[in-house]
A and B are shown apart, each in its own frame.
Chain A
Amino acid sequence: DTAVSQTPKYLVTQMGNDKSIKCEQNLGHDTMYWYKQDSKKFLKIMFSYNNKELIINETVPNRFSPKSPDKAHLNLHINSLELGDSAVYFCASSTYGEGSYNEQFFGPGTRLTVL
């Protein structure tokens, strides 16, 4: 009964490769997010989608492309991987409603190592 799941859990790859990380939530939420956590534990939002529509797009290189096939899924594709992309990537989901707090539930993370 996992709420937010990510695959794979670990990803080790060479510089220049293209890779994808998948995220699924079974909470019935309509908003999903991608965060990046660096080696110093700093967690920063990258993207958010609401009902398959891009809402937040931080200053992320365009090598990163999120794709939301439906409300329950948000995938992250990364082209031409660089050493600096090594980090833990977290997916999260929440309900959506302006002017109120909506708890974000995080997945277990995908640890990406670029060699």
Chain B
Amino acid sequence: QKEVEQDPGPLSVPEGAIVSLNCTYSNSAFQYFMWYRQYSRKGPELLMYTYSSGNKEDGRFTAQVDKSSKYISLFIRDSQPSDSATYLCAMSADNTDKLIFGTGTRLQVFP
């Protein structure tokens, strides 16, 4: 069993939809939770990060962490075709730079 599980998709939604992306994890030592976006043939870029439990909002994006359930989510409101990409969750424990990634969910937003 992988330390971080993520549904690979693909997830196909119409423009304007609310998208929910999720990851589960098994290591209770994880404290930092990140969402990276990766366009085709490009490197991952950081979208959002959260420390420990709670919510964080940035424009159309909201990240949620529920450490009691070992479950994190990324919500995208009013999705746009430009949001079409692979979304990777990543996590790390305190005192380490080692990121553990999920397998990524491919999202396609059609006009």
Chain A interface residues (CB < 8 Å from chain B): 4, 31, 33, 40-45, 48, 55-56, 90, 92, 94, 96, 98-99, 101-109
Contact = CB atoms under 8 A, between A and B. Distances in A.
Contacts of A105: 46
27 contacts: A4-B43, A31-B97, A40-B8, A41-B106, A42-B101, A43-B44, A43-B88, A43-B101, A44-B101, A45-B98, A48-B97, A56-B97, A56-B98, A90-B44, A92-B43, A96-B97, A98-B95, A98-B96, A101-B92, A103-B46, A105-B46, A106-B43, A106-B45, A108-B42, A108-B43, A109-B41, A109-B43
Interface string B62-88: 000000000000000000000000101
Given A96-B97, A99-B95, A42 B103 contact: yes
B103 A41 contact: yes
A99 B94 CA distance: 5
Nearest to B90: A43
B49 interface: yes
User: DSSP class of B's interface residues: helix, strand, loop or mixed?
Assistant: loop
Contacts of B88: 41, 43
Given A41-B86, A90-B43, A108-B43, A103 B49 contact: yes
A92 to B, nearest CB: 8
Given A103-B49, A106-B45, A108-B42, A94 B101 contact: no
